[in-house]
Amino acid sequence: MFDRVIWDELNEECGVFGIYNHKEAPQLTYLGLHALQHRGQESAGICASDGEKWYKHRGMGLVSEAFGKGDLEKFKGHIAIGHTRYTTAGSSKIENAQPLFFRYAQGSMAVAHNGNLVNAAVLRKELEAKGSIFQTTSDTEVIAHLIARSERPDLPGAVKDALQHIKGAYALCVMNQNQLVIALDPNGLRPLSLGRLGDAICVASETCAFDIIGAEYWRDVQPGELIIVDENGIVETSHTEKTQRSMCIFEYIYFARPDSDIDGINVHMARKRLGKQLAKEASIDADVIIGVPDSSTSAAIGFAEATGIPYEIGLIKNRYVGRTFIQPSQELRERAVHLKLSAVRKVVEGKRVVMIDDSIVRGTTSNRIVRMLREAGAKEVHVRISSPPVMNPCFYGIDTSSREELIAATKSIEEIRLAIEADSLSFLSVEGMLEAIGREDSAPNRGHCLACFTGQYPTEIDFEEALPALKC
């Protein structure tokens, strides 16, 4: 029997990329998706158009696996959008791979979406009652059906109509054969940036995608903004006036690539500051600092710089672990973490080790890593977390499905310490985290969503509406 490996970490839903007015738009989109691979490894796809003909391909796995030899060579076009997916709403199958492509009364369109809609299940039932037939279990298709049902004859107008009905997180790219429409939810929960490459306009979940194609960062898409790019130029408008920035703070803590900039803040530098702040709040006498690769490396460096304790590479990540493997016994399940991480014995042996990690979700992997370090000879293992305890589920595109699965929701910090078998455990405070990231914003929480820590959601949450999406 094959079981999917479930690592005790947060996973984000996907990455989107789009480009308009470039003769090699599909090929550049392919490169952009490679840069966004960390945001989703289950499927990838590209839709492109030369103004007359559509070119489409989707596949399962990594970008390099989804596109086989020759798949991209047939692509042409000056406009393209791409998507790389991690499943949080809807199952992992080719039907749910994006971009989704549709033919409707006004022509054809392709849709790529990052985020989760909290009212997707309710909207799906309403649309089905009106005769809509769904081909996927993805809430992205809900958006497409709403666009198709709009009475507006133009794509931008239809997209704007559709967005009046949906709630939740969405960084959205919609294209027809001649237009690219870009939209961000009223809270800006997901990152979305604009770039320029000569006369071409690019859009991506992260700025690192611009670097790989040689584009220059232009600006971030603003909450509630609607942008139309076509042969007439760029129209910058909005789809709602009710906006309040609430960027997911885990983009800085964990999701985004260290070389990306979000709202003008470099992710690597923000994580270093998180580590330094953690050292101020929870320093300890030790011999060596290590980070859980890769997202905690920057925070570990910051912690080491602040304390003067040497930083070392104490854990090595195996980058070639498959997405599935055989688990015929409990013993092999318990040792599953060794497929992904290995301890460097000569670094930790006989040492008092401070292990820096970005978060503790369920606690199982933290326990296994602590055990691994002890097996490698560590004398003491002190765990420091560069974020507050995760106590509440996310309804906007992160795979924390229920409060009961989150160890910090049911246990005190001391109980978590005992569960993971650490010598000591400390989390970063909410105030320290906000100060370290350094975003200057007049919105509540400096423009961040802190719902997973505080339980205060930036949108209205009807739990009966939201929970079905998490159970998909």
Q: What is the pLDDT of residues 338-384, one digit of tens each?
A: 778 999 999 999 999 999 999 999 899 899 999 999 999 999 999 99
Position 282 scores a pLDDT of: 98
Q: Which of 66-70, 113-117, 434-438, 464-468 has the lowest mean pLDDT?
A: 464-468
Average pLDDT, rounded, for the chain? 90
CATH of region 13-243: 3.60.20.10
Residue 56 has pLDDT above 90, yes or no: yes
Position 3 scores a pLDDT of: 34
Position 441 scores a pLDDT of: 87
Domains of the chain, residue spans: 13-243, 266-465
Consecutive H or E run containing 406: none
- Answer yes or no: 14 catalytic: yes
Provide the 8-state DSSP code for 12. B
More confident residue, 397 or 268: 268
Residue 327 has pLDDT above 80, yes or no: no
Name the pLDDT band for 6 (thresholds 50, 70, 90): very low
Residue ranges for the known binding site for Mg(2+) are 295, 357-358
The reply to whether CATH 3.40.50.2020 applies to domain 266-465 is yes
The catalytic position among 14, 47, 173, 208 is 14
Q: In sequence order, what are the residues at sequence separation of 6 or more whose Cβ sits closer than 8 angstroms to the Cβ of residue 148?
A: 102, 104, 105, 106, 158
Residue 173 has pLDDT above 70, yes or no: yes
Position 403 scores a pLDDT of: 84
Name the pLDDT band for 10 (thresholds 50, 70, 90): low
From residue 135, how far is each of 57, 102, 138, 150, 234 by CA, in Å?
17, 11, 9, 19, 33
Residue 322 has pLDDT above 60, yes or no: no
Over residues 179-198, the mean pLDDT reads 97
Buried b (16+ CB within 10 A) or exposed e, 347-379: bbeebbbbbbbbbbbbbbbbbbbbbbbbebebe
What is the distance between the alpha carbons of residues 189 and 458, in angstroms, rounded to a whole number?
Answer: 9
Q: Read off the pLDDT of residues 133-149 as tens digits, 9 standing for 90 and up.
A: 999 988 899 999 999 99
Position 465 scores a pLDDT of: 54
Over residues 223-235, the mean pLDDT reads 97
Residue ranges for the known binding site are 248, 295, 357-358, 394, 449, 452
Assign residue 147 a region: left if phi > 0, alpha if psi is -120 to 50, beta otherwise?
Answer: alpha
Tell me how many degrees the CA angle 343-38-140 measures, rounded to the nearest 5: 140
Residue 36 has pLDDT above 60, yes or no: yes
Q: Which of 332-341, 401-410, 416-425 has the lowest mean pLDDT?
A: 332-341
Residue 219 has pLDDT above 90, yes or no: yes
Residue ranges for the known binding site for [4Fe-4S] cluster are 248, 394, 449, 452
From residue 77, how far is each of 58, 148, 227, 372 by CA, in Å?
17, 24, 20, 51
Q: Read off the pLDDT of residues 253-311 as tens digits, 9 standing for 90 and up.
A: 999 999 999 999 999 999 999 999 999 999 999 999 999 998 999 999 999 999 999 99
